Chains A and B, each alone.
Chain A
């Protein structure tokens, strides 16, 4: 009897401590305190420290200089953890004021009404300064969920020495999708190497081809239309002919295949060069780049969102506008080899000048793709499913129309839920 009482007492104390500890966890926001009239804006970025500390320290100092009552508290998180961190901070009413998001996260958070509408705070001038395909991509029901920031444009990297060895001309590269697919099959036949490396995912395959992926308000998936079926059949042929590897082609795998000369051309972003410049210098020396020969250059854009729970929305948007304005984007492009999302920036001679290096070629090829750039955000909860099912159709030679109809039916059911 005594033992039972003792156990109950220990349990009660433990639970009391647990509840007490939880109470301690719910501390008020520290980042958003108002010290008199002084505002503190908490700014989160993804994996930019410490490489770009100098750029951001100057950027923040410039903004604080122009707005003496504002302090910017800059924090940087790895890509893999920022989403969880953001969720917990929003849940505990401790949301940052400006947060760096990719398009998928933006759309997912927007769907949960967790982001403020940028159009209520920013000027028309700012709105019109961005490329339409990038700004409009995260606009849902007239609500702009975030401001575009820096972006990456895909280009095609080609190892010319592999072509020369097989007697394939290294000029007049493909300029249309159909030419590129035929070229890749031809390269495979003549070199016995993969002609191209594009991942079996909705953006690279269907988005690049200009196939409509969603309706305007992202409530309906549209990838079972005849034009999508045609593109998928084209890729089934590329896989069947081993012109494109049947792999999950993340950046590391692409780099591994390209560095080891198993693939002649790779579809990737402007920073892909860093994956082989030092590890495979001979590949670097023999590489040339061309703009993507597709309908769209599907960008991977970083956005700046303001959580709806921010207590300083006005100032937060003012800071987001400042960070993403054409001048600051130009400076960041020069610092980080990124591509800007603002029209004015790309007119700068920097994007047309070449010193003959591969990096210059990359910059020029990418900049030329901006006119046809398009960001294709896919809500995260359906992205994995759609890509998995697309891979199944492509890798395992399933019936295309039947497979796409099934994906559309299941995903649209999820979107309605």
Chain B
């Protein structure tokens, strides 16, 4: 246990703790470090790019209920005894284990103005002219959300599937004998039994949504304008492109507080229910 703890201490806890004092400095790796008090935090709240990035990250939370509902629906569907169910389970899980970069590149081809999606939509007369999905400030963020959902569904589906398979068969059988409908069984038995999984998946999903990085990093670099700039991407750019690690640490702390707030909200909401 100690080696594992040691690795965590060096690579997780130490950087985590060290980022707190760092947020009050102008540390840039290559220059001298000075204490700057609350300057980084004051700068953050007047930084229009960071505010825009935070708004986008919070808007990304919209995908949480969507991704959870789709995952749950797939889990229920794939919990049936039918032929080839294992193949479907594997197929749905496949996007999860595929590299985000590879997935993003393929999606960028599909979504390009001369890509397959435009061809299909034009061919079926759904669109009258091509849309540059990732270059349009009205569609770009929604497209990224869609890709995140597509990639994440399989992960949560597996957790829900495990939860469904641990529900004792006697409960549903007894309900059926009492003439409960499938819908009643789902809402009155399965959902309450899945509560631990729902809470965990919602929490993880909220955290992942707010700190989303890969998709905008690979596909749009945050553009056009600030339309797909997320807080994590902005923090990365400040730290690793501007070498402004002090400011990046301050932004990370603000983001952590926001994630904590959303996580507590999800937890309390589920506890009340």
Q: Are A384 and B5 in contact (CB under 8 A)?
A: no
Quick check: B135 and A391 within 8 Å, CB to CB? yes
Interface presence of A61 (CB below 8 A): no
- For residue B109, which residues in chain A have a CB less than 8 angstroms away from its CB? 256
In the complex, the answer to whether A384 meets B241 with C-beta atoms within 8 Å is yes
A395: CB under 8 A from chain B?
Answer: yes
- Is A113's CB under 8 angstroms from B31's CB? yes
Render A79-92 as a binary contact track against B, CB cut-off 8 A, 1 for contact: 00001100110110
Contact B132 A395 (CB under 8 A): yes
- Taking a contact as CB atoms under 8 Å apart, the answer to whether A388 and B221 are in contact is yes
- Measured in the bound complex, the distance between the Cα atoms of B20 and A118 in whole Å is 38
Which residues of A in the span 1-50 have a Cβ within 8 Å of any Cβ on B?
A: 10, 13-15, 17-18, 21-22
Q: Compute how far the CA of A182 lies from the CA of B226 in the bound complex, rounded to whole angstroms.
A: 31
Residues of B within 8 A of A383 (CB): 241
Provide the bound-state CA to CA distance between A22 and B18, in Å: 13
**B214 contacts A by Cβ under 8 Å:** no
CB of B27 to closest CB in A, whole Å: 10
- The CA-CA distance from A83 to B136 in the complex, in Å, is 31
The interface residues of chain B lying within 8 Å CB-to-CB of A128 are none
Q: A112-B30, A396-B136 given as contacts; is B242 within 8 A of A14 (CB)?
A: no
Q: Does A380 contact B (CB under 8 A)?
A: yes
Q: Range of interface residues on chain B?
A: 35 or more
Q: How many A-B residue pairs have CB under 8 A?
A: 113
Interface of B, helix, strand, loop or mixed by DSSP:
loop
CB nearest to A396 among chain B residues? B137
CB distance from A22 to the nearest CB of B (A): 8
Residue among A15, A383, A392, A410 facing the most chain B CB atoms (10 A cut-off) = A392
List chain B residues, Cβ under 8 A from A17: 6, 9
Interface residues on chain A, number (Cβ under 8 Å) = 44
Given contact pairs A87-B30, A395-B224, A410 touches B48 in the complex (Cβ within 8 A): yes
The answer for the CA separation of A19 and B171 in the assembled complex, in Å, is 54
Contact A388 B135, beta carbon cutoff 8 Å: no
Chain B hits for A91, CB < 8 A: 29-30
Please, what's the 1-or-0 string for B221-265, where 1 marks a CB less than 8 Å from any CB in chain A? 111111101000000011011111000000000000000000000
In the complex, how many angstroms separate the beta carbon of A250 from the nearest chain B beta carbon? 10
Query: How many angstroms between the C-alpha atoms of A262 and B112 in the bound complex?
Result: 12
Known: A14-B9, A18-B10, A248-B220. A109 touches B229 (CB 8 A): no
Is B9 touching A15 in the complex (CB atoms < 8 A)?
Answer: yes
Report the nearest B residue to A88, measured CB to CB.
B29
B113 at the interface (CB under 8 A from A): yes
Does B28 reach chain A (CB closer than 8 Å)?
yes
Whether B243 lies near A248 (C-beta < 8 A) is no
Contacts of A262 in B (CB 8 A): 114
Q: Are the CB atoms of B242 and A381 closer together than 8 Å?
A: yes
* Whole-angstrom distance between the Cβ of A223 and the nearest chain B Cβ: 15
Minimum CB–CB distance for B102 against chain A, Å: 13
Cβ–Cβ < 8 Å partners of A83 in chain B: 240
Q: Give the residues in chain A near B238, CB-CB below 8 Å.
A: 381
Contacts A14-B2, A247-B113, A256-B109 given; indicate if A391 touches B223 (C-beta within 8 A): yes
What separation, in Å, do the CA atoms of A316 and B28 have in the docked complex? 25
B49 nearest CB neighbor, chain A only: A385
Chain B residues numbered 39-63 whose CB sits less than 8 Å from any CB in chain A: 43, 48-49
Report the Cα distance A246→B108, complex, angstroms: 12
- Roughly how many angstroms separate A387 CA and B237 CA in the complex, as a whole number? 14
Tell me if A279 is interfacial: C-beta within 8 Å of chain B: no
Q: Which of B6, B134, B229, B241 contacts A381 (CB 8 A)?
A: B241
- Contact A381/B237 with A14-B6, A90-B29, A91-B30 known, Cβ cut-off 8 Å: yes
Leading 4 A-B pairs by shortest Cβ distance: A381-B242, A392-B225, A388-B223, A246-B132
Known contacts A112-B31, A396-B224; 4 additional CB pairs below 8 A are A91-B30, A112-B30, A245-B113, A384-B221
A-B contacts, 13 of them at CB < 8 A, read A14-B9, A21-B10, A88-B29, A108-B243, A113-B30, A114-B31, A246-B113, A246-B132, A248-B219, A256-B109, A381-B242, A388-B225, A395-B136
